[in-house]
Structure 1
Amino acid sequence: MPTPSSPLRIAVLVSGSGSNLQALIDGCASGLIPGQIVLVLSNNPEAFGIERAKRHQIPTEVVNHRLYANRAAFDQELTRLLEQYEAQLVCLAGFMRVLTAEFTQHFAGRLLNIHPALLPAFPGLHVQQQAIDAGVRFSGATVHFVVPEVDAGPIVVQAVVPVLADDTADSLAARILRQEHRIYPLAVRWFAQGRLSLTGKRVQLRDAQEEREAALIHPSGE
């Protein structure tokens, strides 16, 4: 864990555009996150997230998964680089590779992911269309610790959005993404502050503000 005089050293793994990476970069720049992104790592040489990092003078590395014989060898190279850069927290931000159990266990308790659904509902891919097809009234985003099982780790924070009658997968995804950009920096901030504790499947936030009678109702017929 970081000390008051030592900002949290964060590594971010991306495969695509890196909009959540940008939210974390902005969070560090504004002081919301008491940390520093020391590495942006991608499996995709064409990922725009690499360009985002370079614009902010953040070190980058590319580990092209196509050049490795298997997932274990690929993950071993990821681990080597993350240790080389002394990452204290690893954030998956649209990283489209399933990680081995060995990798997730090595970084247990310091590996976060963001998922565009209200886990444990709708893990995996194409989750916005899944939510629409299921007829749910709410969807949202989840930040969770990563475990070997996909999208099954302990939940840190969630944001909820309504599913509208005329929603498409794209329109719902856009509404959820705006909330992803809000809650991922918050989760990283809490980690950096040492406010998160993990017991089994449950994450506790020290000094959390909770509203016992809070409720959302959608749709409203009145």
Structure 2
Amino acid sequence: MKTIIVLFSGSGTNLQNIINTYQNKYHIQTITNNKNANGIKICEEHNIKCAVIDEKSFENRLSYNKKLVEYLKPLEKNLIVLAGYMRIIPKFLLDEISTPIINLHPSLLPRHKGLQAIEKSFEDEYEDAGVTVHYVNSELDAGEIIVQLSFNKKDYTDFSNFKNKVKSLDYNIMPMAINKVLL
């Protein structure tokens, strides 16, 4: 059985979607950098192993990332998924871990890399917006695009509705990307 490792930092809504879609097809393990992340409860509810490597317990991000590599290296893994993992993956981790890593980003890359992508998409001059899943490389949000989903912005003039539309695409796109990478 193939293994997916999901890294997350917060609420775990995308993690929940991955569990719902793949728990009976793939072995799922998780890692969080936030000891207070709601996703930990989701893992407990589904009897899924969750490693808590609390970033705040390290003196700096480099020490944290070294521990993350130390934890990841021996694990059997076919895919690493960043699902609401709010940290940049450093180059040395990519060099140490040969497993494909994919990331969900809430814009149509290459537009709006980095933080506040939803806000930037809402305010830009383009007629469309959407979400992207891409391979992680050493440049921020610049890896090869696996899949994108888009929608016409004209029906979403209220930011709250726009944000909800973007979030709703998250749940459709991640299974599409995982299937494309693992099949």
Per-residue CA shift, 1:149-200, capped at 9, x if unaligned?
Answer: 111110000000221365343322211111111111121122221xxxxxxx
Matched, 1:121 2:111: yes
Residue in 2 that maps onto 1:100: 90
Matched, 1:150 2:140: yes
Per-residue CA shift, 1:82-124, capped at 9, x if unaligned?
Answer: 2343222110001111221111233356101000000000111
d(CA) in 2 for partners of 1:105 and 1:147? 10
Q: CA RMSD in A?
A: 1.7
- The CA deviation at 1:146 is 0.3
Matched, 1:35 2:26: yes
d(CA) in 1 for partners of 2:136 and 2:98? 7
Residue in 2 that maps onto 1:54: 44
SS at match of 1:98: coil
Change (3 A) 1:53 1:132: same
Query: Mean alpha-carbon deviation: is it higher for 75-84 or for 155-164?
Result: 75-84
How many aligned positions are there? 183
d(CA) in 2 for partners of 1:8 and 1:167? 42
d(CA) in 2 for partners of 1:114 and 1:181? 10
- The CA deviation at 1:15 is 0.6
Identify unmatched segments of 5+ residues in structure 1: 1-6, 194-222
Per-residue CA shift, 1:33-87, capped at 9, x if unaligned?
Answer: x4220x2111111111111111110001111112222322211211222234322
Higher helix fraction (1 or 2)? 2
Greater radius of gyration (CA): 1
Q: What fraction of aligned residue pairs are identical, expressed as a percent?
A: 30
SS at match of 2:93: helix
Contact 1:91 1:113 in 2 (8 A): yes
